[in-house]
Amino acid sequence: MTRLSSPNPRRRAAAATRTARRHEAVPCPLDVVYAQAGIEAPATRRVTADEIPTPYRALLAHERDMTLTLEAHFGGRVALRALSTFQQDHCYYRRVLLVQAYSGRPVEMGAIKIDLQAFTARVRREILRGEVPFGRLLRDGGIDYRSRPTQYLAVTPNSEMMGAFWMREPLTLYGRQTEVSLRDRKIGDIVEILPLA
């Protein structure tokens, strides 16, 4: 008769520590949308705004609308391409690529968690349609929202992100996690990652 040995407690603890560190390092909703898609999330680590090189710092370290910021930097409108979406209770998650409308060049990958209960039925329908960047949708709808960075990130892209950003090797990218609020109510979290400059 074969005896099954119980798992080594030290190995179990080490595995739990690695998992906890990995989870801490990958901000929600980025980890959630990748897990839902069955893809390992890219590795991330927190950095300060001062550690972000130019031109990334000017594109990330602010409280302005990211869609407007990217359009001003790249000189034209950006379009949204949904990579994956799902709904969990009243929260809507999506992973998207923002691209230059005139060239298709990727300018940002975003992962977003949105509290649908914060919006009217009309705005909810527009969000779920997934055709307009979130910031533009709110701005065009006259919704007075606030976007505040909560942390800045250095990102080692996974192969899926490298493909989306037309990269040949996993060079460090930069991004941020942003909290979106409406009348002092938190309505969403967004992780925004920029491609190589």
pLDDT in tens, 137-167: 998 888 888 899 999 999 999 999 999 999 9
Give pLDDT tens digits for 38-49.
999 999 999 999
What's the token pair of residue 142? 């006259």
At 87, phi and psi to the nearest 5?
-120, 140
In a domain, 169, yes or no: yes
Query: Most distant CA pair in the chain: distance in Å?
Result: 72
Q: Tell me which residue range forms the domain holding 134.
A: 28-194
Q: Does residue 17 lie in a domain region?
A: no
Is residue 6 assigned to a domain?
Answer: no
Residue 23 inside a domain? The answer is no
Task: Please check whether residue 129 lies inside any domain of the structure.
Answer: yes
Task: Give a yes or no: residue 14 inside a domain.
Answer: no
CA distance 189 to 177: 7
* pTM exceeds 0.85: no
End-to-end CA gap in the chain = 62
Q: Please indicate, yes or no, if residue 42 is contained in any of the structural domains.
A: yes
Mean pLDDT across the chain, nearest whole number? 86
- CATH code for position 153: 3.40.1410.10
Q: Give me the number of domains the chain comprises.
A: 1
